[in-house]
Protein backbone atom coordinates (compact mmCIF):
# COMPACT_ATOMS: atom_id res chain seq x y z
CA UNK A 1 0.00 0.00 0.00
CA UNK A 2 1.31 3.47 -0.91
CA UNK A 3 0.72 6.24 1.65
CA UNK A 4 1.45 9.96 1.49
CA UNK A 5 1.72 12.44 4.35
CA UNK A 6 1.44 16.15 3.61
CA UNK A 7 2.46 19.09 5.78
CA UNK A 8 0.51 21.84 4.04
CA UNK A 9 1.03 25.56 3.57
CA UNK A 10 -1.23 28.16 2.00
CA UNK A 11 1.49 30.81 1.80
CA UNK A 12 2.36 32.60 -1.42
CA UNK A 13 5.48 30.41 -1.61
CA UNK A 14 3.56 27.30 -0.54
CA UNK A 15 5.90 25.00 -2.43
CA UNK A 16 8.70 25.80 -0.01
CA UNK A 17 6.67 25.05 3.12
CA UNK A 18 4.56 22.14 1.85
CA UNK A 19 6.34 18.80 2.19
CA UNK A 20 5.28 15.41 0.88
CA UNK A 21 6.34 12.19 2.60
CA UNK A 22 5.94 9.08 0.44
CA UNK A 23 5.76 5.69 2.12
CA UNK A 24 4.83 2.05 1.62
CA UNK A 25 3.38 -0.48 4.04
CA UNK A 26 3.87 -4.16 4.67
CA UNK A 27 3.38 -6.57 7.57
CA UNK A 28 6.12 -4.76 9.53
CA UNK A 29 4.47 -1.35 9.30
CA UNK A 30 5.15 1.92 7.51
CA UNK A 31 8.35 2.61 5.59
CA UNK A 32 8.86 6.28 4.69
CA UNK A 33 11.00 6.27 1.57
CA UNK A 34 11.16 9.93 0.58
CA UNK A 35 10.28 13.34 1.96
CA UNK A 36 10.60 16.39 -0.28
CA UNK A 37 9.18 19.88 -0.58
CA UNK A 38 6.71 20.72 -3.33
CA UNK A 39 9.23 23.29 -4.54
CA UNK A 40 11.61 20.43 -5.26
CA UNK A 41 8.91 18.28 -6.86
CA UNK A 42 7.25 21.03 -8.90
CA UNK A 43 10.37 23.05 -9.68
CA UNK A 44 8.78 26.19 -8.21
CA UNK A 45 7.69 27.49 -4.82
CA UNK A 46 4.81 29.54 -6.25
CA UNK A 47 1.54 28.44 -4.68
CA UNK A 48 -0.63 27.83 -7.77
CA UNK A 49 1.69 25.53 -9.76
CA UNK A 50 2.94 23.84 -6.59
CA UNK A 51 -0.60 22.91 -5.54
CA UNK A 52 -1.33 21.61 -9.04
CA UNK A 53 1.65 19.29 -8.56
CA UNK A 54 0.24 18.20 -5.20
CA UNK A 55 -3.19 17.46 -6.69
CA UNK A 56 -1.55 15.29 -9.33
CA UNK A 57 0.52 13.37 -6.81
CA UNK A 58 -2.39 12.75 -4.44
CA UNK A 59 -4.04 10.72 -7.17
CA UNK A 60 -1.20 8.19 -7.27
CA UNK A 61 -1.21 6.95 -3.64
CA UNK A 62 -3.67 4.57 -2.01
CA UNK A 63 -4.16 6.92 0.95
CA UNK A 64 -2.96 10.38 1.93
CA UNK A 65 -3.25 12.50 5.05
CA UNK A 66 -3.17 16.28 4.79
CA UNK A 67 -2.51 18.73 7.59
CA UNK A 68 -5.19 21.35 7.04
CA UNK A 69 -8.83 21.73 8.04
CA UNK A 70 -11.14 19.96 5.59
CA UNK A 71 -14.09 22.17 6.54
CA UNK A 72 -15.47 25.12 8.47
CA UNK A 73 -17.59 25.01 11.63
CA UNK A 74 -21.21 24.23 10.76
CA UNK A 75 -22.26 27.37 12.65
CA UNK A 76 -20.78 29.62 9.95
CA UNK A 77 -22.33 27.98 6.88
CA UNK A 78 -25.64 26.40 5.91
CA UNK A 79 -24.47 23.13 4.36
CA UNK A 80 -25.94 19.95 5.79
CA UNK A 81 -23.31 17.56 4.46
CA UNK A 82 -19.62 17.77 3.64
CA UNK A 83 -19.86 17.06 -0.14
CA UNK A 84 -22.32 19.96 -0.34
CA UNK A 85 -19.86 22.14 1.57
CA UNK A 86 -17.00 21.35 -0.82
CA UNK A 87 -19.18 22.29 -3.80
CA UNK A 88 -20.34 25.49 -2.08
CA UNK A 89 -16.97 26.72 -0.85
CA UNK A 90 -15.04 27.69 -4.05
CA UNK A 91 -17.54 30.31 -5.17
CA UNK A 92 -18.28 31.74 -1.76
CA UNK A 93 -15.08 33.56 -0.76
CA UNK A 94 -12.56 35.48 -2.83
CA UNK A 95 -9.63 34.97 -0.48
CA UNK A 96 -8.70 33.87 3.06
CA UNK A 97 -9.25 37.36 4.46
CA UNK A 98 -12.85 37.49 3.24
CA UNK A 99 -13.45 33.99 4.57
CA UNK A 100 -12.11 34.96 7.97
CA UNK A 101 -14.04 38.22 8.16
CA UNK A 102 -17.38 36.70 7.22
CA UNK A 103 -16.93 33.71 9.52
CA UNK A 104 -16.02 35.97 12.44
CA UNK A 105 -19.04 38.19 11.78
CA UNK A 106 -21.39 35.22 11.71
CA UNK A 107 -19.88 33.70 14.85
CA UNK A 108 -20.25 36.99 16.72
CA UNK A 109 -23.84 37.34 15.53
CA UNK A 110 -24.78 33.82 16.58
CA UNK A 111 -23.12 34.14 20.00
CA UNK A 112 -24.30 37.69 20.74
CA UNK A 113 -20.72 38.87 20.54
CA UNK A 114 -19.36 36.30 22.99
CA UNK A 115 -17.30 34.34 20.44
CA UNK A 116 -15.23 35.38 17.44
CA UNK A 117 -13.66 32.05 16.59
CA UNK A 118 -15.71 28.89 16.99
CA UNK A 119 -14.14 25.47 16.48
CA UNK A 120 -15.46 22.41 14.73
CA UNK A 121 -16.62 19.49 16.84
CA UNK A 122 -13.48 17.56 15.86
CA UNK A 123 -11.14 20.43 16.83
CA UNK A 124 -11.98 20.86 20.51
CA UNK A 125 -10.78 17.51 21.93
CA UNK A 126 -7.45 17.88 20.11
CA UNK A 127 -6.80 21.53 20.85
CA UNK A 128 -6.83 22.48 17.17
CA UNK A 129 -7.40 26.09 16.08
CA UNK A 130 -10.65 27.21 14.52
CA UNK A 131 -10.23 26.70 10.75
CA UNK A 132 -10.71 30.39 9.98
CA UNK A 133 -8.36 31.66 12.71
CA UNK A 134 -5.70 33.89 11.21
CA UNK A 135 -3.02 31.33 12.10
CA UNK A 136 -4.48 28.71 9.74
CA UNK A 137 -6.96 30.55 7.49
CA UNK A 138 -4.68 30.43 4.44
CA UNK A 139 -4.19 26.69 4.87
CA UNK A 140 -7.93 26.10 5.14
CA UNK A 141 -8.84 28.33 2.20
CA UNK A 142 -6.31 27.05 -0.31
CA UNK A 143 -6.50 23.47 0.92
CA UNK A 144 -10.27 23.25 0.50
CA UNK A 145 -10.52 25.35 -2.66
CA UNK A 146 -7.43 24.29 -4.62
CA UNK A 147 -6.77 20.73 -3.39
CA UNK A 148 -9.94 19.09 -2.12
CA UNK A 149 -12.24 20.99 -4.46
CA UNK A 150 -10.81 19.74 -7.77
CA UNK A 151 -10.24 16.20 -6.51
CA UNK A 152 -13.76 15.79 -5.13
CA UNK A 153 -15.43 17.52 -8.08
CA UNK A 154 -13.72 15.13 -10.50
CA UNK A 155 -14.50 12.09 -8.39
CA UNK A 156 -10.78 11.33 -8.30
CA UNK A 157 -10.67 10.50 -4.57
CA UNK A 158 -12.79 9.53 -1.62
CA UNK A 159 -12.57 11.50 1.63
CA UNK A 160 -12.97 9.79 4.99
CA UNK A 161 -15.22 9.71 6.91
CA UNK A 162 -17.59 12.30 5.42
CA UNK A 163 -18.44 10.73 2.08
CA UNK A 164 -20.86 7.83 2.17
CA UNK A 165 -20.60 5.06 -0.41
CA UNK A 166 -22.68 2.01 -1.16
CA UNK A 167 -20.96 -1.35 -0.92
CA UNK A 168 -17.21 -1.80 -0.53
CA UNK A 169 -14.70 1.01 -1.00
CA UNK A 170 -13.44 1.28 -4.56
CA UNK A 171 -9.83 1.64 -5.67
CA UNK A 172 -9.73 5.44 -5.73
CA UNK A 173 -7.19 7.13 -3.41
CA UNK A 174 -8.51 7.89 0.07
CA UNK A 175 -7.81 11.27 1.65
CA UNK A 176 -8.11 12.15 5.33
CA UNK A 177 -7.37 15.10 7.58
CA UNK A 178 -4.51 14.73 10.04
CA UNK A 179 -2.95 16.91 12.74
CA UNK A 180 0.71 16.05 13.47
CA UNK A 181 0.78 17.85 16.83
CA UNK A 182 -2.07 15.67 18.12
CA UNK A 183 -0.38 12.56 16.74
CA UNK A 184 2.84 13.46 18.54
CA UNK A 185 0.93 13.99 21.80
CA UNK A 186 -0.66 10.57 21.37
CA UNK A 187 2.85 9.12 21.15
CA UNK A 188 4.08 11.07 24.23
CA UNK A 189 6.55 12.98 22.05
CA UNK A 190 7.27 16.74 21.95
CA UNK A 191 4.42 18.47 20.12
CA UNK A 192 5.76 22.02 20.15
CA UNK A 193 8.99 24.05 20.14
CA UNK A 194 10.70 21.83 17.57
CA UNK A 195 10.11 23.97 14.47
CA UNK A 196 11.23 27.56 14.11
CA UNK A 197 14.17 28.51 11.89
CA UNK A 198 14.26 31.99 13.47
CA UNK A 199 14.44 30.78 17.06
CA UNK A 200 17.45 31.69 19.17
CA UNK A 201 17.03 28.28 20.82
CA UNK A 202 18.11 26.38 17.72
CA UNK A 203 20.02 23.69 19.60
CA UNK A 204 17.05 22.95 21.88
CA UNK A 205 14.67 22.78 18.91
CA UNK A 206 17.06 20.42 17.08
CA UNK A 207 17.25 18.24 20.18
CA UNK A 208 13.46 17.95 20.25
CA UNK A 209 13.42 16.90 16.59
CA UNK A 210 15.96 14.23 17.47
CA UNK A 211 13.75 13.03 20.34
CA UNK A 212 10.75 12.81 18.02
CA UNK A 213 12.60 10.86 15.33
CA UNK A 214 14.15 8.52 17.90
CA UNK A 215 10.77 8.05 19.60
CA UNK A 216 8.75 7.08 16.55
CA UNK A 217 7.14 3.65 16.99
CA UNK A 218 8.90 0.53 15.77
CA UNK A 219 6.36 0.16 12.99
CA UNK A 220 7.51 3.46 11.44
CA UNK A 221 10.90 3.30 9.72
CA UNK A 222 12.63 6.12 7.84
CA UNK A 223 15.01 5.89 4.92
CA UNK A 224 18.35 7.58 5.69
CA UNK A 225 17.56 10.59 3.47
CA UNK A 226 14.18 11.00 5.17
CA UNK A 227 15.73 10.87 8.60
CA UNK A 228 18.25 13.52 7.56
CA UNK A 229 15.52 15.80 6.18
CA UNK A 230 13.37 15.38 9.30
CA UNK A 231 16.29 16.38 11.53
CA UNK A 232 17.81 19.13 9.38
CA UNK A 233 14.67 21.02 8.28
CA UNK A 234 14.51 23.71 10.97
CA UNK A 235 10.95 24.66 10.02
CA UNK A 236 9.76 21.19 11.00
CA UNK A 237 7.81 20.72 7.77
CA UNK A 238 9.65 17.57 6.73
CA UNK A 239 9.13 16.02 10.17
CA UNK A 240 5.45 16.96 10.20
CA UNK A 241 5.00 15.31 6.79
CA UNK A 242 6.50 12.11 8.20
CA UNK A 243 4.16 12.25 11.20
CA UNK A 244 1.23 12.92 8.85
CA UNK A 245 2.12 9.77 6.93
CA UNK A 246 2.19 7.76 10.17
CA UNK A 247 -1.21 9.11 11.25
CA UNK A 248 -2.59 8.14 7.83
CA UNK A 249 -1.10 4.67 8.16
CA UNK A 250 -2.79 4.19 11.54
CA UNK A 251 -6.11 5.44 10.17
CA UNK A 252 -5.98 3.16 7.13
CA UNK A 253 -4.89 0.19 9.24
CA UNK A 254 -8.01 0.70 11.36
CA UNK A 255 -10.31 1.07 8.36
CA UNK A 256 -10.65 4.83 8.93
CA UNK A 257 -12.81 4.17 11.97
CA UNK A 258 -13.72 7.18 14.11
CA UNK A 259 -13.43 7.27 17.89
CA UNK A 260 -14.60 10.82 18.61
CA UNK A 261 -17.72 12.81 17.83
CA UNK A 262 -17.70 14.88 14.64
CA UNK A 263 -20.16 16.87 12.55
CA UNK A 264 -20.73 15.33 9.10
CA UNK A 265 -20.49 18.73 7.37
CA UNK A 266 -17.30 19.82 9.17
CA UNK A 267 -14.73 17.05 8.84
CA UNK A 268 -12.83 14.74 11.18
CA UNK A 269 -9.20 14.73 12.31
CA UNK A 270 -7.41 11.38 12.37
CA UNK A 271 -4.66 11.02 14.95
pTM (predicted TM-score): 0.96
Q: Which residues contact 66 (CB under 8 A, 6 or more apart)?
A: 6, 8, 143, 147, 175, 176, 177, 178, 244
Rounded CA separation 101/146 (Å): 20
pLDDT tens per residue, range 44-72: 999 999 999 999 999 999 999 999 999 99
pLDDT in tens, 199-238: 888 999 999 999 999 999 999 999 999 999 999 999 999 9
Which band of pLDDT confidence, cut at 50, 70 and 90, is reported for residue 170? confident
Cα–Cα distance, 259 to 270 (Å, whole number): 9
> Which are the contacts of 22, defined by CB distance < 8 A and separation ≥ 6?
2, 3, 4, 32, 33, 34, 35, 61, 245
Phi, psi at 218, each rounded to 5°: -60, -25
- Which domain CATH number covers 249? 3.30.420
pLDDT tens digits, one per residue of 101-160: 999 999 999 999 999 999 999 999 999 999 999 999 999 999 999 999 999 999 999 999
**What's the number of domains the chain is made of?**
1
pLDDT of residue 150: 96
Task: Please give the pLDDT value at position 166.
Answer: 44
Residue 82: domain span: 2-270
Amino acid sequence: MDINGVDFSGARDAGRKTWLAEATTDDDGLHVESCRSLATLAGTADRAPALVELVDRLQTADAAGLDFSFGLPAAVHDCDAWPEFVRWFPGEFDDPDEMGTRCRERAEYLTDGDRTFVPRVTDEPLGASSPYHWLVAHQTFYGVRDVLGPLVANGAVTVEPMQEFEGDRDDRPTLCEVYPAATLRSLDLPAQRYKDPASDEGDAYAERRERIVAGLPEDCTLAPAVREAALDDEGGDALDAVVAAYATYRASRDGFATDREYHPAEGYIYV
